[in-house]
Amino acid sequence: MIQLHNVFLSYQKEVTALHGINLHVPRGEFVFLTGPSGAGKSTLLRLLYAALSPTRGQVVIDGQNVTRMTRSQIPYLRRSIGVVFQDFKLLPNRTVLENVAITLEVLGWSKQDINKKVFHILKQMGLEHKINATPLRLSGGEQQRVALARALVNDPKILLADEPTGNLDEENKDLILNIFRDANIRGTTVVVATHDRRLIEHSHKRVVTLEKGKIVEGPDVTQ
Applying CB under 6 A, the residues found at the interface with ligand ATP are 11, 15, 17, 35, 37-43
- Residue 4 CA to residue 58 CA, distance in Å, equals 6
In the complex, the smallest distance separating the C-beta of residue 42 from ligand ATP, rounded to whole angstroms, is 3
Q: How far is CA 7 from CA 10, 69, 99, 153, 176, in A?
A: 10, 16, 34, 31, 30
Please say which residue, 25 or 193, places its beta carbon nearer to ligand ATP: 193
- Environment class of residue 24 by beta-carbon count within 10 Å: exposed (0-12), middle (13-18) or buried (19+)? middle
Nearest to 45 by CA among 21, 27, 69, 26: 21
Please say which residue, 13 or 204, places its beta carbon nearer to ligand ATP: 13
In the complex, the smallest distance separating the C-beta of residue 55 from ligand ATP, rounded to whole angstroms, is 12
- Checking phi first, is residue 99 left (phi over 0); if not, alpha (psi -120 to 50) or beta? alpha
In the complex, the smallest distance separating the C-beta of residue 45 from ligand ATP, rounded to whole angstroms, is 8
In the complex, the smallest distance separating the C-beta of residue 25 from ligand ATP, rounded to whole angstroms, is 17
Q: Which amino acid is at 137?
A: R
Q: Which amino acid is at 181?
A: R
Please say which residue, 15 or 91, places its beta carbon nearer to ligand ATP: 15
| Beta strands 158-162; 81-84: pairing state | parallel
In the complex, the smallest distance separating the C-beta of residue 35 from ligand ATP, rounded to whole angstroms, is 6
Please say which residue, 41 or 130, places its beta carbon nearer to ligand ATP: 41
Please say which residue, 99 or 144, places its beta carbon nearer to ligand ATP: 144
